[in-house]
Amino acid sequence: MTYQELGQFIKQERKKLKLTQKELADLAEVSFRTIQNIEKGDRISEKILNKILEVLNYTAIVNIEVKSIKK
């Protein structure tokens, strides 16, 4: 999922809960500007993402790919 797609997902879920950006920001204990930027597709830290997803009743699952580096 790209940051743009993640931002759209958060916006969609926020609207399903009938929350404004300000209300989501307050509940997630982040700034209003942070929510605006995320919904526009800006990067988001894992810590802030988890706070927002908790309010939206979701959990993030992060896939980590490990590759062998052969010299």
Local structure of 62: helix, strand or coil: coil
Q: What is the pLDDT of residue 65?
A: 57
The DSSP element (H or E) to which 33 belongs, if any, is helix 32-40
What's the pTM value of the predicted model, to 2 decimals?
A: 0.81
Average pLDDT over residues 30-42: 97
pLDDT-based confidence at 37, cuts 50/70/90?
Answer: very high
CATH numbers and ranges of domains, the chain: 3-55 (1.10.260.40)
